[in-house]
Amino acid sequence: IVAVVVGLPAVYLLLRAARMPVENPMAPWMVAELTFPLYFFPNTIGVLWHGIFALFFVLALALPYLRGLPLSPMAARTLQIWAIVAAGWYGLAWATPFWIQSLPLLQIHLIRATDLWYFSMSFLVAGLTALVIASTASDHPWRRALWGLALIGACLWPYLLSSTWKLIGLVLIIAPIAGELVWQVLKRLPLFQGERGRAGYYLTILLVGSALVGVHAMRERFYAFGHPLLIRYPTVETVARWAREHTAKDAMFLIPVHGEWRYFRYFSDRSVFVHQKDGDAFPYAPWYAAEWLRRMAQLGLFEVAGIEPQSYTIGKWVFVGGSEWMRPRINYYEAVSKSITEARVAHLAKEYRIDYWITYKETETNYPEVYAHGAWKVVKITNAR
């Protein structure tokens, strides 16, 4: 009930936006596929995640019939109702793009409802695992280790599935060893005899496993952003700072249309021509979808990706913005950024009054370079006004 009440304003905005006329009824669907189809098209999600959804669904329906589990009749019925509701949302997420083809339903991001299902079922499975551990009370070292790893899997499975085999191996080895060391210490203390000692063992395994996952995440973030906690984009921030300090307030920039350059508008407080991320606004502004497509087409996205709007059918372009089950993802937007030529920029500058162009240093152009940083340079469009 709380979730429904909290989400009502967003649902209202989406429904209101969906009722507004759009230039091309197919444009929002095209943009959904070209920007981030993972949120709108279930076939872009890996088969493994669909399997986990099905596993949780069967588990939720079967748990009330398993003997020995401490589930009250009310809890069992509630669990089954939740499973049926989740399956309904899941089925509707598949039906929306491939059968119903309703824009309001597309805008709600139906497939994201599975995130709540994964989250709630993870809590349930972790709680049941803890209850089973408490009821077995085994002091056999191998059984303890297996139950400890089961508890880690129940609590941390989303992180482990998206991590490397090296991290999974470290968790499988280090966490039980750390738990056993703590167990050997605690069982000698009068205060931690029996259940308290076992609780300390399993808590240690869970904490060590969580710590390893956390350290791995901070390590990855450090290599990606230069800081273990903060997400930083030093190149974009530096170029944007220059733009904020040395260009007119109403200047417009043609920026690379891929990756972290989506933050340039925020850091520089300057207008930009277009970016891949701008298309994500279509759930609240479906009328912008046609304009986003027009600008991306002018930059050459259709040619680079080998797609034709005339032959478009819903679901045909998901490989451009994301990936299909058996097709590797190609960053078409980075390819667009590299393919932009001076002739194309000159044409766009006359139509849209673009003042500056941020491009790769090796890009050939006769426009004067006014700033450079790293692999990028900023050139002044002399025929913009």
Question: What pLDDT, in 10s, does the model give residues 341-367?
Answer: 999 999 999 889 899 999 999 999 999
- pLDDT at residue 6 above 90? no
Encoded tokens for 376: 């990028």
CA distances from 182 to 178, 187, 204, 206 (A): 6, 9, 7, 12
Please, which pLDDT band fits residue 314 given cuts at 50, 70 and 90?
Answer: very high
Residue 159: the pLDDT is 82
**What angle, rounded to 10 degrees, do the helices at 113-136 and 141-161 form?**
170
DSSP assignment, residue 178?
Answer: H
Neighbouring-strand partners of residue 357: 254, 379
Q: How confident is the model at residue 278 (pLDDT cuts 50, 70, 90)?
A: very high
> For 129-143, 208-222, 272-286, which range has the lowest pLDDT when averaged over its residues?
129-143
- What per-residue confidence (pLDDT) applies to 369? 96
Sign of CA dihedral 316, 318, 323, 328: positive
Rounded to whole angstroms, the Cα distance separating 307 from 325 reads: 19
% of the chain residues with pLDDT over 90: 35
Statement: residue 385 has pLDDT above 60: no
pLDDT category at 25 given cuts 50, 70, 90 is confident
- Residue 379: its pLDDT value, please? 97
- How big is the CA angle at 365 (ends 364 and 370), to the nearest 5 degrees? 115
End-to-end Cα separation, the chain, in angstroms: 55
